[in-house]
Structure 1
Amino acid sequence: MNNKLFAPWIHQRCVNPGSSVGSEAAEGGSLFRRERGKNRRRSCVIRLLAVFASCLAAFLGALMPASAANPAVTPAPAPERIVVKPVDTGAALVNPDMGWTLMFYSNIPQNYGSKLEPSDTVDEWPGLSVVYLRIPWAFVEPEEGQFNWPILDTPAQRWIAKGKRVAFRLTCSENWTKFATPEWVKNAGAKGVFYDWGKGPAPDGRLWDPDFADPVFLAKLENFLRAVAGRYDGRPQVAFFDIGSYGMWGEGHTGGSSRIPQERANEIVRQHIDLHLKYFQRTRLAIIDDAAGPQAKGAHQPLTDYALSKGITLRDDSICVQPPPNSWYHADMAGLFWPTRPVIVEHEHYGPSKKRGAWGDGSLLIKAVEDYHASYLTIHWWPHEMLAETRKTVDEINLRLGYRLQLREISWPARVVIGQPFEVVTQWANAGVAPCYPGGFMALTLKDAKGGIVAVLADDGFNLRDLKPGPKGQAPVVSHRRRFTAGRIAPATAPGVCEVFVSVGERDGTPVLALPLKDDDGQRRYRLGTITLLP
């Protein structure tokens, strides 16, 4: 205690206790008055001690915690929270912009859907999301302006009816049929060249390639693309459309056919890209990597860089065609595309790849998915036979192909008051090789005992598209907090216990994406636990 603060008061009240006391002492000081003075001084000392004790108590109280100073008051316990740490089920996921694509037509109409009965959509292949139709232009428009749409629509609808999607490549050059480009295009005056497969141009060759830059050919091709786009562009059931109008099998190379120099090819393919962009303005387009040169080295090539600048994605059809170390060539090129759009890879015909020793034990295909950060992978063989022999490889790929959104942890209060905010804390990771291109927002749905929706609490402030993929087992984990309120103003919300479901989808809480979680309600909402609503 600072004595200087009390010294004046002590002096005034004890040494010179007041004018009345002083005057009585001056009158001669009787015994009574002396005793009276002693009593007053004693009382002054007592008051001083009381002040000192009060100050000391205040000083010590400031140093002590509240609970120690007043042991009868205990801190209120924190509200109980439910903590759930879901486990990845390991299931294959069918989601937008990713999955296995079934080659129903592999150029030749018989490969590889001809063994499938109309009711057989290969449902046992885990992660199958797209049926792929690659077929010559001549089969779709056998006569000018007369279209054979059922050749496309019939197989497409078999899978669309199962909630799957369709993708296309319509080609102008094949090594097994003389006129992949309709013969009526040649008869209309389009220039071209006869050739023998693997030997190049020959006057009496048995196959015909158009001059891919000929004005008549380009005019007829434009009419065809206009008709096809009018039918399929922007349809939600169409996953992608390959730019397949140049080169053998639509792959962008002519080394075994008309043998166009790469410098000239760069000019021609750019024209074909622009034609597709003109008519396919809402559907994702894909450029085949070989258009830049089958063995071109380096990520940046004129044609693929141009395609990249136009929002087109990349496709590589040459995985496991050759044995190691030439199992593929353009993973570095894919590195320019996959951060913003889904990359498509196609393995060689499974049977021939095995015979050439290019397939190995399946680990090369797994590595290709990793190196390309692939979102789509084509099934290039008879599907039932291939799945029977490669199921282990397929299952392992499904844990990495495309994106895989994992809810690592979620917590919420066990009890909340209706109309009052509460906090939900989540931890998310993307265990796939590619971003979640369509994006998605988490929503919590509360349901009553009858399965009725009590509240939909959508978090539109956190887009799971922003989750970064990482190496296997090393996906970055992102924590997120969000406050929700159930039953504020309306709709009428009754107290009671509700089940808590999580989903990822549109901003309004509509579920879209499959998650690797158990207890799906059939609409891609997954049960996590319960919450009690209090009045």
Structure 2
Amino acid sequence: MQRRDFLKGGAAAAGVLGIGTGAAQGIVPAHNWSKYDFGSGPAVKDRLNQGPFPQYPPDAVIPSDEVVMTTTPSDEVVPNYGKGLVTYITADMGTEEIKSDNVSKGIEDLVNFPLGQKLYIRPTWREVQPRPGRLELPDYVKLVFDLAKKSGKQVGLRIQMSAPDYWHAPALPDFVLERVPKVDLVLNDPKDQAAGARFVKNPYSRYQPRFDDPFFQQCFRELVGQLAAEFDGNPSVEFIDTFMYGFWGEGHTWPFSNNPFPDYQTAERTWMDMLEVQLDNFKKTPLLTNTQPDFSRVGNSEMLDCTVRSNNWIRSDTIFIENEQIEALSNRPPWIGALLEQGLPGKPADPKASVEGISPAENMIAHVMDIGANYWSLWNFHQISAQNLAGYYQAYPAWFDRINRKIGYRVRPSFIWGYEADGYTGLIIGFANDGIAGVPGVLRVTVESEDGKPLRSGCLDPGYPLPGKIRQAQIVLPKGTKWQGLKLKAEIEVKEMRYPVRWACHQQLNEDGSLTLRANLRQEV
């Protein structure tokens, strides 16, 4: 990125340009996202002709056509990569947040909770790498991955470098803390004393390390390299949260007024360098960067902008605070996935809490859908258990079922036209999306013979088809090939990986999620 090249030039570049260091910032001002130029998205290999397809002179592209097959939306939950409800196994407090006398059994119950298609954990750096040189994953993390593999579910994870709800140990390992300077956090505004009390009481959340310290950077690069070796492209991993500044890795140390850096330029340069380390290592698995506004002045806007431009994904840890995040989430480019973490109450569902017949949980679900999320967290705030989740589902089944059947993208070949030209059979396929989000990558479509041999394959433009719209594409079959009995298969391409996609249609599918083409349209006048 040009801004990053400029920042890397440092003081020398500033001197040549005759400006002070105060101007050498990559801050991305707040902007509307809907028409903002983030680029054209991920590269598309084998792009299909996506029309238009007129059939009358003088613009005729095809001689004539007729609809030979249609599909209609499915009423079922259709799990796919890049979408789904995410069962939180751990979040802010590690295993202490799991409310069970038997933590291992509690984890197993959460993994098997039927509403969630994905799993999520948030261990600390200390837990995954207590000593330099190699990862030493704790037993509960190993258990989650073992159970995930058995259940066919994928795991998302974040590694915390500051965990203010861990009271038994700091988030950073001792070999880092012993050599890296720390800066105490300061509460300047008396109004923030009450809000900051919980952090002041915890000795491990009163400070932040000097992230720009050379030894910290050395250790961080080693950690990210080891994490990538273990998780990048791992079929059990859905996504990795981007390392960010501050509490829980969300990008802030609210309500404290300072940060550990000497100035904004150092903070931004440090975090952009750390983001680049992550981008360089995670070539296959998406990174999710929080949309947190830059309360702590550490470079969040530049990190978020770079994340989107590199075709990685975004997330938010709230939707009812800071309206700036709603703009980014709801109007992001259609090829960018988004996860919304909005915790359910930790206490049991209370019918008396409803306002005008809508409970807080139902209201929350409705607004997650309004924003157009790919993922939503199944998480009882600081009270994690399958029993608590089941209690909320039993109280409000209609809304939970609704979001489970709408979350993310739900694509199908809505219209299929057939035509003949010069001995070739052509198909014009109108792809629909009955979900609430675009395709978080590139949709690849393949026509196969009955025995599974690929005949033609190609891709739609990034993010397409869009929700509630049709995207048409042309596929010309090998000469002499008839379309009846062929199979239409879908995959999603994200970074360097390709994942199977099951069509979200009512019509019967094959075991692999593909659709056998057959005439099924009866037109009656």
Under a length normalisation based on structure 1, what TM-score does the superposition of the two structures give? Answer: 0.66
Would you say 1:521 and 2:481 are equivalent positions? no
Which residue does 1:333 correspond to in 2?
328
Match of 1:135, SS state, is coil
User: What are the Cα deviations for residues 164-211 of structure 1, in whole angstroms up to 9, with x where unaligned?
Assistant: 322211111122324111233222344343899824986994645332
Structure with higher strand content? 1
Q: Structure 1: any 5+ residue segments left out of the alignment? A: 1-77, 321-325, 448-452
Q: Does residue 467 in structure 1 map to residue 441 in structure 2? A: no
Pairing partner for 1:109 from 74, 86, 94: 94
Q: Name structure 2 gaps, 5 residues minimum.
A: 1-62, 187-192, 521-525
The residue number in structure 2 matching 1:13 is none
What is aligned with 2:17? none
Instruction: Name the structure 2 match of 1:363.
Output: 363
Residue of structure 1 equivalent to 2:135: 147
What amino acid maps onto 1:463 in structure 2?
L
- Whether 2:451 is the aligned partner of 1:433: answer no
1:428-482 per-position Cα deviation (integer Å, ceiling 9, x unaligned): 22222322233233344454xxxxx28654342x526463424xxxx22234444
Distance 1:457 1:274, change over 3 A: closer
Q: Give the alignment of 1:252-267 within 5 angstroms.
A: 252-256=251-255, 259-260=258-259, 264=264, 266-267=268-269
Residue 469 of structure 2 is aligned with which of 476, 484, 503? 476
Task: State the shift of 1:147 in Å.
Answer: 3.3
Q: What is the match of residue 282 of structure 1?
A: 284
- Partner of 1:240, secondary structure, is strand
Distance 1:500 1:236 in 2: 29
Following superposition, the deviation at residue 254 of structure 1 comes to 0.7
Structure 2: which amino acid aligns with 1:86? Answer: T
Once the two structures are overlaid, the 10-residue window that deviates more, 193-202 or 335-344, is 193-202
Map 1:35-50 to 2 at 5 A: none
Choose from 200, 209, 212 the match for 1:211: 209
Q: Secondary structure at the match of 1:440?
A: strand
> For residue 122 of structure 1, what is the aligned residue in structure 2?
112
Greater Cα radius of gyration, structure 1 or 2: 1
Q: How far apart in 2 are the matches of 1:306 and 1:479?
A: 31
Q: Kindly indicate whether residue 171 of structure 2 is the aligned counterpart of residue 180 of structure 1.
A: yes
2: distance between equivalents of 1:241 and 1:117? 20
Per-residue deviation, residues 44-77 of structure 1 (Å, max 9, x unmatched): xxxxxxxxxxxxxxxxxxxxxxxxxxxxxxxxxx
CA contact (8 A) 2:335 2:442 kept: no
Task: Give the corresponding residue for 1:42.
Answer: none
User: Residue 491 of structure 2 corresponds to which residue in structure 1?
Assistant: 505
Please say if 1:391 is aligned against 2:397. yes
Quote the Cα distance in structure 1 between the aligned partners of 2:73 and 2:364.
Answer: 25
Q: 1:271 to 1:211 in 2, by over 3 A?
A: farther
**Shift in Å at residue 119 of structure 1?**
7.4
Q: Which residue of 1 aligns with 2:68?
A: 83
Change (3 A) 1:331 1:501: same
Pick one of 123, 130, 154 that aligns with 1:165: 154
In the TM superposition, what is the alpha-carbon distance from 1:96 to its structure 2 partner? 2.0
Task: Find the aligned partners of 1:258 and 1:230 in 2 and give their Cα distance.
Answer: 37
Which moved further from structure 2: 277-286 or 262-271?
262-271
Task: Answer whether contact 1:455 1:486 (CA < 8 A) is retained.
Answer: no
Q: 1:199 to 1:181 in 2, by over 3 A?
A: same
Change (3 A) 1:329 1:360: farther
Cα offset, 1:154, TM superposition: 2.8
Closer, same or farther in 2 for the Cα pair 1:386/1:146, shift >3 Å? Answer: farther
Deviation at 1:361, TM superposition (A): 5.0
Assess, with a 3 A threshold, how the Cα gap between structure 1 residues 409 and 279 changes in structure 2: closer, same or farther. closer
Provide the C-alpha distance between the structure 1 equivalents of 2:313 and 2:196, rounded to a whole number of angstroms. Answer: 29
Computed over aligned residues only, the root mean square deviation of the Cα atoms, in angstroms, reads 4.2
CA shift in 2, pair 1:251/1:188, >3 Å: same
SS at match of 1:408: strand
* Cα deviation, residue 151, structure 1: 4.1
Q: Which residue of 1 aligns with 2:120?
A: 132
Q: What is the rounded CA distance, in whole Å, between the counterparts of 2:433 and 2:370 in structure 1?
A: 14
Q: How much does 1:101 deviate?
A: 1.9
2:424 maps to 1:421:
yes
8 Å contact 2:492–2:500 — kept in the other structure?
Answer: yes
Residue identity matched to 1:219: Q
Taking the aligned partners of 2:219 and 2:297, their CA distance within structure 1 comes to: 31
Alpha-carbon distance in 2 for matches of 1:191, 1:511: 43
SS in 1 for 2:341: strand
Q: Deviations over 1:234-291 (max 9, x none)?
A: 3343222112352111111112468428964545433432332343333322221226
Q: Is the 8 A contact 1:233 1:281 kept in 2?
A: yes
- Cα pair 1:292 1:301 within 8 Å, conserved: yes
